[in-house]
Amino acid sequence: MLGVIRRRVASGGSSSSSSSILKRSLQTIRPVSSSTSRVSEEILINPRGFEHVRQFSCLAPLRGRAISSRTMREGVSNMELTASKLILSRPFSSDSGDLVDAVVPFMGESITDGTLAKFLKNPGDRVAVDEPIAQIETDKVTIDVASPEAGVIKEHIAKEGDTVEPGTKIAVISKSGEGVAHAAPSENTSKKAAPKQSAPEMKDEEKIKPKVEASPVPVKPKTPAPPPPKHSATEPQLPPKEKERRVPMTRLRKRVATRLKDSQNTFAMLTTFNEVDMTNLMKLRSEYKDAFVEKHGVKLGLMSGFIKAAVSGLQNQPIINAVIDGDDIIYRDYIDISIAVGTPKGLVVPVIRNAEKMNFAEIEKEINTLAKKANDGTISIDEMAGGSFTISNGGVYGSLLSTPIINPPQSAILGMHSIVSRPMVVGGNVVPRPMMYIALTYDHRLIDGREAVFFLRRIKDVVEDPRRLLLDV
């Protein structure tokens, strides 16, 4: 019977006849199961009749008695009211669902907002799924905003330089590309149209010019220009403003500046120096570099030797791996080495986790992976979080000597420098040796000079004789 009602309603019958059929049909319904049974049926309702379609599920409990026509009429009235409310409260959306919003993704636990650095795609450009369309610059990393669908950029909602939060809409993408104006062709068209429109104006000006020039203009005698003022010898000569450029600081640069200044204001920093003879480590590297690459697939560098030496030094002097927390000292039973990497966008410090458990090959692979991510701008927040000790290699840029600044909240940092061949006394003879200056900047509130000097001495001993690592002496 309900099938008959549905067909009558769908065929466009009047609401009165459909209601009467529904009433007569439901008066004959008898319970067919226990009180837990329910009847679910789709009823097509509209306040003006049954011409338009709405989906509704009516669950009528059957408790051993027939449903009266009055109850059914009240139910129909309530359903009509509900349907009208749904029509008014339903949010607007395009029938085709062609437009999709590109929003700022989640940027990390400690990052609440970022700066819209630049758009990688302009209105009118076609994009693929997950293709980056913009870059968000945060205090630590640069994050890409990917396109949620393939289509054409319709418009930019945000502007470059705006501060945005996760979930902020920055662009609208049309999946079909219909109605999207391409910026480049319109500009070319306007440029081509401009000379054509100005041509008649030029002809009119040429016709008017002879009439204007016909009237003689009295010529006034030229007065000599006053000489330029002479600057006194003590007055500074400032460069013109046209030769200056003002560029806002990036969020990463501001973050680095803030942390370094806080480090100077917080720590009682002191630097101690030593020099290392690199002969044996460089000889070890040259003898086994081919076999190392063949077995592990990565080149053997000097950085892994210094990391292993630093691990040995931190194990001998645990206070350098510790940190001050209020009135307490926190000793760490793990060694996470932070490696300072200079990138075009600023200084980042990825972390090598549990370096004390890694061998030379594992360290070299991890260094290459993190350095590549840092230079490509794809390094994550988690890969830079933490760290108990930092190594900065300014020697790759040619630095001979420096005093590195502690990376908070750590307590010390090791600075490596360039290798220079210098005359050294070996066995009573003066011979050329490849030498490197190393520097340790430490928090003097926690670390005394004795521990700092012993730490550098351990670095020197291990680098000059790598066999100590095998024998643990």
Burial of 3 (0-12, 13-18, 19+ CB in 10 A): exposed
Query: How far is Cα 320 from Cα 457, in angstroms, rounded to an integer?
Result: 14
Query: How far is Cα 155 from Cα 150, in angstroms, rounded to an integer?
Result: 15
How far is residue 297 from each of residues 290, 300, 357, 362, 439, measured CA to CA in Å?
Answer: 10, 10, 20, 11, 32
Residue of 239, 255, 229 whose CA lies nearest to 114: 255
Cβ within 8 Å of residue 310, ≥6 positions away: 337, 355, 389, 391, 414, 459
Active site residue 204: no
Query: How far is Cα 391 from Cα 204, in angstroms, rounded to an integer?
Result: 75
Sign, Cα dihedral of 400, 403, 406, 411: positive
- Which one is catalytic: 101, 290, 376, 448? 448
- Which one is catalytic: 144, 444, 461, 465? 444
Residue 321 DSSP SS3? helix
Cis ω on the peptide bond leading into residue 105 (within 30° of 0)?
A: no
DSSP string, 240-274: PGGG----PPPHHHHHHHHHHHHHHHH--EEEEEE
Residue of 226, 254, 247 whose CA lies nearest to 346: 254
Active site residue 296: no
Query: How far is Cα 358 from Cα 352, in angstroms, rounded to an integer?
Result: 10
Residue of 338, 345, 319, 342 whose CA lies nearest to 330: 319
* CB-based contact 300:360 (threshold 8 Å): yes
- Beta bridge mates, 240: none
Alpha helices in 215-346, H assignment, sequence order: 251-266, 279-296, 302-316
Eight-class DSSP state of 121? S
Which are the catalytic amino acids?
A: 444, 448
